[in-house]
Structure 1
């Protein structure tokens, strides 16, 4: 029997499983192939509709698919990998609330553990702030926002994720201050100035106060403090300040200076070990530069790894990763968005529909995708009144007074 172990419950794992099960399903069903998934979270969290969830447009159950439902032919282990022995081809893991370490051997290992926000780098952020990449953290933030209507919110980080998050929270009626250490927002769109300018306009429309050249330096239960000495009274601080790969001991010789696993053109780290997604350094097949850390590249990386392992099982070479990219998109409220498709910019309703169609296509559950459409349809025809807008209740500014 051949055993394939998948680490993590994210996009890489789901897409590697789906492709491998489709191409080697006969072997899987008759027991010649076993797929084992080790994940600290028992559900896959679809981050594409984070903005819609936080804005109250869709229900929280739409973005969480149980791993057992998404991967019915896999053996799911709820646990956290603690060590990889590449020489012996084994993974050690610990189940929740269990001090004992268990070990499973593998023929192929797929590392899709992704990355997390570096919350430990800002004092108090882990204790008093919110991040988005841990188990159920998005739903916890949504519940918190619902319990403190119209209260001020600080979003740290001005990339695509940060501006989309700030817009969604502001659209729900919260005064939002977005702080960004750089001098311009959405650096991912430095080659698309029209889209970057439109994103800034949408934030202004929603009343989001933008402060650039300032870093978040401390978070308390009642305030956020910044690198220029100012502070802001708030009970809600959300971090979108980049990401750090989840490092599992045992593969350190194959990591780059940022902690990402260096992959070959096949996405193999070494023979029998594969990686993709936010925790891997994947070279673009044309430019050779590292590909962006976003969901689409993780999905396509997982697809390729699934095909590569299926080919290896048939005694064929893995093949090179050839995906070249599609584009990016962001939403700024119902029917409003910006997107880029093969370098062509779109704004407004067209951009929003393109984004919606893309995310619905890649949701792991057809029933949940249908639920998203139902929720958005209901939202479109439900009258609502903003609790607080930029006109009625401006977002509070930063202050140097003690917080």
Structure 2
């Protein structure tokens, strides 16, 4: 029997976990697993706020693909086209000409990207918070603004530098806001020129609540805790413009801000536009509970999807409901999908995915948190401890678990690192200036 080729498009939560499980459940005689992703690692996104705040090393928030997927073939590149009728994908490697990869089964898991709106100035001034690069950039940027504020004698420049605006009150926005404020407040001990009350942290949320994944009382508690830290919380308010860094809100207020972080939701990866798979009104791939892609009632043989880019029916709720785009569902869907692909390869029937959402945990900074798990609500230190314990248990590989725990343990005895490494973002600038020919010099 010739081994089946299983092509995994994307190495996020779904792609990595699915490929890892497939490589363990199917022998090399049964299947070959090929994983295509432009990045050499999987980013464990729940750790982005901690990596950005310096609680853990950024390298420990990512999982190297080649180390974890040793039984798989990893291709560093981007899938530019999937023609399922021919069961072929076109892959553009990092360098060199494009290549075609035929397959028997395809796992469509490119994930999601930031959902932006046509707000004037957002493209030029906004900072995303979905990748490890963006997390590192935000950390360096915030610390750099503290340096700017400490060095200037202009009160307008100082006020602008110390105004930090976050748009979006979901988990990503709340955790990023809380962790960065915690880090900046910690850093001020080294800035005698600055006072904590000079910093302005603004949260802009278009709805009337934050953390929609938990009950309203938990969202209200979160707002109360942020207000106690003198943060400016704007609910039922929209960002209307940020041209030249001047934030204009729907409530009529406006103010200059050097830092504008956009965390207002996600949308399916635009890579799906280059496929011939059916999509729903939110541009997600339509799936059965078995995680097979369907066109109406017709199952598309050999095509599978899960995670943020897939519309998977939630069997624990009323018909018409779909699983939320969370890491909790993505990891479990990946395991169910891998088992179903193995079943089909071996001539068995796939099984429906069914998982009742356990709950949610969120960090509000060091030793502060909020949690709602199995209906049990916790706040403060217990919630923060549960947040860390849960995510430490979920990050792939023993190697990464140990490194994260070591980072946390060292933080109990050593002070947080609060130095900006801004040159990381343009490392050739100094050399380019040094090696540039003198003005007016003749070129040979």
Aligned pairs, how many? 380
Structure 1 residues 198-249: Cα deviation after superposition (integer angstroms, max 9, x where no partner): 2112212333211122222333453333334533212211111111101323
2:226 pairs, out of 199, 203, 212, with 203
* Farther off after superposition, 81-90 or 348-357: 348-357
Mapping 1:243-262, distance limit 5 Å: 243-247=266-270, 248-251=272-275, 254-262=278-286
* Farther off after superposition, 127-136 or 329-338: 127-136
2:349 pairs, out of 301, 317, 325, with 317
* Farther off after superposition, 341-350 or 235-244: 341-350
8 A contact 2:358–2:373 mirrored in 1 = yes
TM-score, normalised relative to structure 2? 0.80
Query: What's 2:109 paired with?
Result: 112
Structure (1/2) with the larger helix percentage: 2
| Higher relative contact order (CA closer than 8 Å, sequence separation 6+) | 1
Query: What's 1:394 paired with?
Result: none
Could you say if the C-alpha distance between residues 222 and 124 of structure 1 is closer, same or farther in structure 2, counting changes exceeding 3 Å? closer
* Farther off after superposition, 225-234 or 176-185: 225-234
List gaps (5 residues or longer) in structure 1.
388-403
C-alpha distance in 1 between matches for 2:118 and 2:329:
27
Q: Name the Cα RMSD after superposition.
A: 2.2
Could you say if the C-alpha distance between residues 252 and 339 of structure 1 is closer, same or farther in structure 2, counting changes exceeding 3 Å? farther
Structure 1 residues 279-337: Cα deviation after superposition (integer angstroms, max 9, x where no partner): 11111122141111111111111111111111111110111112222111100122221
Query: What's 1:178 paired with?
Result: 203
C-alpha distance in 1 between matches for 2:92 and 2:367:
45
1:139 pairs, out of 136, 139, 161, with 136
Query: What's 2:21 paired with?
Result: 19
C-alpha distance in 1 between matches for 2:276 and 2:228:
46
1:275 pairs, out of 287, 299, 305, with 305
C-alpha distance in 2 between matches for 1:134 and 1:334:
22
TM-score, normalised relative to structure 1? 0.88
1:240 pairs, out of 258, 263, 273, with 263
1:152 pairs, out of 163, 167, 179, with 163
8 A contact 2:168–2:206 mirrored in 1 = yes
Report the Cα offset of residue 164 of structure 1: 1.4
